[in-house]
Amino acid sequence: MDTFSDTTDLAPTSADTLLLTLDEAARQLRCARRSIERYVAAQHLAVVRLGRAVRVERGELHRFVAAMRQARDG
The residues spanned by each domain of the chain are 19-73
**Alpha carbon distance 56, 29 (integer Å):** 12
| Strands laid side by side in the 48-50 sheet | 19-20, 53-57, 48-50
What confidence tens digit (pLDDT) does each residue in 30-74 have?
999 999 999 999 999 999 999 999 999 999 999 999 999 999 887
What confidence tens digit (pLDDT) does each residue in 7-20 have?
555 555 656 789 99
In this structure, are residues 71 and 64 in contact, taking their beta carbons and an 8 Å threshold?
Answer: no
**Alpha carbon distance 59, 65 (integer Å):** 10
Query: Which CATH number does 19-73 carry?
Result: 1.10.1660
